[in-house]
Amino acid sequence: MLELLAWGDTGWGDELVRGTLMTLAVALCSFALGQVFGGLGATAKLNGGIVTRAIAEVYTTVVRGVPELLVIYLLFFGSSNAVMGIASLFGYTGYIEVNAFTIGVLSVGLISGAYSTEVIRGAIQAVPFGQIEAGRAVGMRRGQIFFRILLPQTLRYALPGLGNVWQLTLKDTALISVTALAELMRSAQIAAGVTRNPFLFYVLAAVLYLVLTSLSTYAFDRAEKHANRGVRRA
């Protein structure tokens, strides 16, 4: 077993570490992109017009209503066709393949954003409106109200839900192994196939995922305690 997990050409230890780092990179980029989609979606649902509200509603309903793997497949196979269709308008007729990392981040980011939309929307609605009115009454401008009242409290209310979204995002990175991106799950699959020892590598992959999720849970717990400092408990 130690030989199989050795570092270098004789083992798979370095490949699994690189796969873990790739998983973390995809998860971080996807989660960040998801927060952008989530913020835009929540804003559209709360303050947008009829069209923007409808778009946000369709986005969250469709993405949350279909399997995550199907979203990845649609983007993986559809993105190249879309790019080639746009390129053909400019006279280019060759095959264009979109980078697997880009597809992974975009697809998982869309999934993360759909769930983040509802988390952020609920957190915004949880902020007492009287505090907004109080800020206006003392002459605070819109930007001051947003950064001093709305944003800190929205973050405090949203952190528990966003922690769950992060865990979902982290685990959804395993699905992008179908794009041949060498993340943790793909690295474990390759190692299992080459060595014909799937149990060892899948158990090791599970352990590495558990390490990442446990560290994430600790980090979000610390962030929640920091955000709730000074808040009186009932």
Residue at 234 is within a domain = no
Position 1 in a domain: no
Confidence band for 83, pLDDT divided at 50, 70 and 90: confident
Position 75 scores a pLDDT of: 87
Return the closest-CA partner of residue 60 out of 120, 147, 143, 125. 120
Lowest-pLDDT range, 41-50, 140-149, 192-201, 223-232? 223-232
Provide mean pLDDT across the span 19-34: 95
- Would you say residue 159 lies in a domain? yes
Q: Is the pLDDT of residue 234 over 60?
A: no
| pLDDT cut 90: percent of the chain above it | 49
> For position 114, what pLDDT does the model report?
95
pTM: 0.89
Q: Is residue 4 part of a domain?
A: no
pLDDT of 41 above 70: yes
Look at residue 195 in the predicted model and tell me its pLDDT.
Answer: 85
pLDDT computed for residue 167 by the predictor: 95
Mean pLDDT, residues 3-28: 84
Per-residue pLDDT tens over the stretch 109-146: 999 999 999 999 999 999 888 888 888 888 888 888 88
146 belongs to a structural domain: yes
Q: 30 with 167: CB under 8 angstroms? A: no
Per the domain annotation, does 171 fall within a domain? yes
pLDDT classification of 2: cutoffs 50, 70, 90? low
The CATH number of residue 69's host domain is 1.10.3720.10
Domain containing 52: what range? 13-227
What span, in angstroms and rounded, lies between the C-alpha atoms of 125 and 116? Answer: 14
Please state the length of the chain: 234
Residue 180 lies in a domain: yes
| Domain total in the chain | 1
- Write down the pLDDT at residue 74: 87
Tell me the residue type at 39. Answer: G
Domain assignment present for 173: yes
Question: Mind listing the pLDDT tens digit for each residue in 207-227?
Answer: 999 999 999 999 999 998 888
The residue among 2, 1, 4 whose CA lies nearest residue 194 is 4
Rounded mean pLDDT of 77-96? 74
Half-sphere exposure of 65 (CA within 13 A, CB side): 6
Confidence of residue 233 (pLDDT cuts 50, 70, 90): low
CA distances from 17 to 11, 169, 182, 203 (A): 12, 19, 11, 15
Q: Which residues contact 188 (CB under 8 A, 6 or more apart)?
A: 16, 19, 201, 202, 204, 205
Res 175 pLDDT > 60: yes
Task: Kindly give the residue spans of alpha helices, DSSP state H, lying in the chain.
Answer: 13-47, 50-65, 68-88, 100-126, 129-137, 142-145, 151-172, 184-195, 198-227
